[in-house]
Amino acid sequence: MNPKLGLVGARGHVGAELIKLVAGHPHFDFAFVSSRELEGQLVADHHPAYRGDLRYIAPAHETLPAFGADAVVLALPNGKAKVCVDAFDAAGLDPVIIDLSADYRFDPAWYYGLPELTRARYQGQRRISNPGCYATAMQLAVAPMLDALDGPVQCFGVSGYSGAGTTPSDKNDPDKLRHNLMPYALTGHVHEREASTQLGHPVEFMPHVAPHFRGLTITANLHLARAFNRDDILARYRERYAAEPLVRVGDEAPWVSHIAGAQHVDVGGFTLSEDGRRLVVVATEDNLLKGAATQALQNLNLAFGFDEFAGIPLETHA
């Protein structure tokens, strides 16, 4: 019998993407999808790729254990996951829980699921914290050079406004963003702390929101302890990600407009200073996919022993 998934927060942008992915998965089925705003409506009416008569429900978080899900994905705003996790603990149940918020990313009891960098640490943990979208791109851009860094890494980031969620704010208001670039949280952003913690090296991050809907780009500025040439840099990145279908290393700087709807991260634009001791790297990803839903599916596949990339379209856009 296929494992049954529960999705809490199905109305949000990431929840919608996960429904599409699970609809095409060879093994997973839904036990429930929850959304207060869509309660009672057919999931198939909102997602034609999903076939079935499942309807959105809006149960109290304390009642989630009663639905018998083998895994539960929490696609909730920061600060909302604990009540759900506590409900399963109180019921004495231990489903796989994937938390897409930042709530457990700094909790050592939870596996931090960025498979390309942390796969070797996965030992059957049932509690999995999904990385942040920006933090994913920053870590993948920096990791191959970790042993050669000299001082903090600076990352300039720009994301589409879907990254600000569905709750109305200046950061997801198309009128305010039109012809604009909106800086925010220029120090201490949660993804700055997340990337710094996971890499074991300080990262300084400056995020901005742009008028487009989806897709993000980060430009990482790396000071190096010794001189490199560009061929050596390219060889490092290509070797590090040669077996990773969701990380593509290219020669040219990737464009954010090309990554929308794609499942992978593009890394490229490798540029060295004249003395070979400063490297600039560009990484782009769809913040809703590899930055969230696609990565959650990788982690679900790992947790249930399936092929890590089952249900993930590797060559085509979503």
Query: With contact defined as beta carbons under 8 Å apart, do 191 and 207 qualify?
Result: yes
Distance CA 169, CA 184 (A): 12
Query: With contact defined as beta carbons under 8 Å apart, do 138 and 203 qualify?
Result: yes
Active site residue 133: yes
Query: With contact defined as beta carbons under 8 Å apart, do 241 and 254 qualify?
Result: no
Query: With contact defined as beta carbons under 8 Å apart, do 133 and 165 qualify?
Result: no
> Which phi and psi angles does 111 have, rounded to 5°?
-75, 130
Tokens 């993930």 locate to 312
Of 19, 133, 222, 293, which is the active-site residue? 133
Q: Lay out the sheet containing 203-209: strands in order across.
A: 182-183, 203-209, 153-159, 216-223, 278-285, 265-272, 247-249
Nearest to 22 by CA among 264, 306, 216: 306
Q: Which residues are catalytic?
A: 133
